[in-house]
Structure 1
């Protein structure tokens, strides 16, 4: 069964079974990774039961990933995080928004500095119906290596833009000896909010590109890009093969507001990180959800985009980063 379906089941059970959710302790100090700058927003970190799927292995059986997920909410500003087990290293993650009519958009989907935890955040437009947000973290394991040993072959880098209405940034691994396998984005917003439009690999540049925009109300912000890379050649193991896939949804502008698209990775590979881009014509389209689906028959990256109040159309492109042992 696909992971998003199992989470949906937990979500439905949570509505009817008392005690399915518990209150998380909300960070209040400088160590809090979230930027809950809208003082009028209702911040929710209620969390459901944790779901762990996998491990899923490549063709060799020596490269494996696990998917950890849970859901948070309801609220109009929803934040959450999930942590991979100690024997895995975080390489990617994502978020899925359980909502009807678009009105809330991602403002963060990014890794912790120690590559253990994936953070997510979504902010609603004025009047949005409270919603739930699912958080996903993908952990990587390589046979014969402890997580501490594997961490020595993985690098995390970041870059932050200046403040603008439509900020963008790119975190590059070029010349570092590491190859991109994942990345994330964090909008450093305040006031009315600034929402994700891009978080994805940039072709052959070995970099992760991110961008965001304010919507209707002027609200400049900066944005931080994160890039996760790995050394291809690992002593006493062999060589890793890294690839990516993408798919683009061309919108029917007269009949649809939301756009959803998925891309499957080839058999024999494992998914490391999803990415996405929302294009628009005039007012703006933003990312509602960007998340992985992993199972034993196939794995895919998924993207959901939309506009709010000022309707707009545009292409939606989903990206999937993948890895295997070189054949």
Structure 2
């Protein structure tokens, strides 16, 4: 028997936009609107945050892609904001496109209907002295998959000492009631870890983690990385914001929920529009389960 997600995907492919509206799900691709621009201390690395809010509201957002609105930039990071309103909608994906032109995100309500808009973000990067094609070829994206489990976890590692970790992402491959993200963060200076869980109803799923790296040495200089964690909570809806030291340009960010009991789930992974910082937020869902959270900001400077 086909899962609900498979049925939704098939209906979307066959019936197009009308089916998307009727089922409350669907894919979308849009060019992001530039919301912020930052440079590193050298002036060589420039990043911009591009944002796009999907509308009208849907129950499920599956593979919503936002592309960089600058032809000289690659997509180096990103995120998404669903909603923590009652009952809420949670994140199930936040990862780079294969061509590094955009960032793809997904969200869903869970067990109780919640039609919601989904705001997606993509962080664009350009390096003075390098063309977009040169920079895209230099980026290393390493995926890693878990098995199908109620609480899957995957570690994507950068094995090359010639590269430095600058970000990452995840994608939950759920097929039943749903399996929701609880972590997407740098667990070491070379590893990106992703975790998720079913919630209230069994749904063993797999998760893919993505580690994104730049060469340690670029033609214009050495890449120095800052990796900053900040804790928040305990709370039913914990939140934390990590800010980079002066002189670093934001390339990515993540969040790790430290949950127990029923569980607490990610609904927000958001690069700031006002500073080189990154916010992570989560919520309990239908059952009380306060937790703490760690937000991470990653950035670079050329030295």
TM class by shorter chain equals: 0.7 to 0.9
Within the candidate set 107, 111, 132, 1:126 is matched to 111
* Within-5 A mapping of 1:1-327: 42-44=24-26, 50-73=32-55, 74-79=57-62, 80-84=64-68, 85-204=70-189, 206-235=190-219, 237-252=220-235, 257-295=236-274, 298-326=275-303
CA change 1:29–1:88 in 2 (3 A) is farther
CA change 1:120–1:171 in 2 (3 A) is same
Stretches of 4+ aligned residues off by more than 3 angstroms: 26-31, 44-50
SS state of the match for residue 289, structure 1?
strand
SS state of the match for residue 148, structure 1?
helix
The offset of 1:102, in angstroms, is 4.3
Q: Deviations over 1:107-129 (max 9, x none)?
A: 00011111111000001012233
Aligned length: 285
Aligned counterparts of 2:171 and 2:32: Cα–Cα separation in 1: 23
Q: Deviations over 1:89-142 (max 9, x none)?
A: 111000012441243210000111111110000010122331111000001110
SS state of the match for residue 324, structure 1?
strand
Aligned counterparts of 2:48 and 2:133: Cα–Cα separation in 1: 17
Unmatched 5+ stretches in structure 2: 1-7, 14-21
SS state of the match for residue 82, structure 2?
strand
Aligned counterparts of 2:34 and 2:168: Cα–Cα separation in 1: 21
Q: Do 1:285 and 1:305's aligned partners in 2 also have CA atoms closer than 8 Å? A: yes
TM-score, with structure 2 as normaliser? 0.88
Aligned counterparts of 2:28 and 2:191: Cα–Cα separation in 1: 34
SS state of the match for residue 234, structure 2?
coil
Which structure carries more strand by proportion? 2
Aligned counterparts of 2:102 and 2:46: Cα–Cα separation in 1: 18
Q: Do 1:103 and 1:307's aligned partners in 2 also have CA atoms closer than 8 Å? A: no
Q: Do 2:30 and 2:66's aligned partners in 1 also have CA atoms closer than 8 Å? A: no
Unmatched 5+ stretches in structure 1: 1-25, 32-39
TM-score, with structure 1 as normaliser? 0.82
Aligned counterparts of 1:155 and 1:110: Cα–Cα separation in 2: 14
* Deviates most, 70-79 or 240-249: 70-79
Q: Do 1:141 and 1:147's aligned partners in 2 also have CA atoms closer than 8 Å? A: yes
Q: Do 1:180 and 1:227's aligned partners in 2 also have CA atoms closer than 8 Å? A: yes
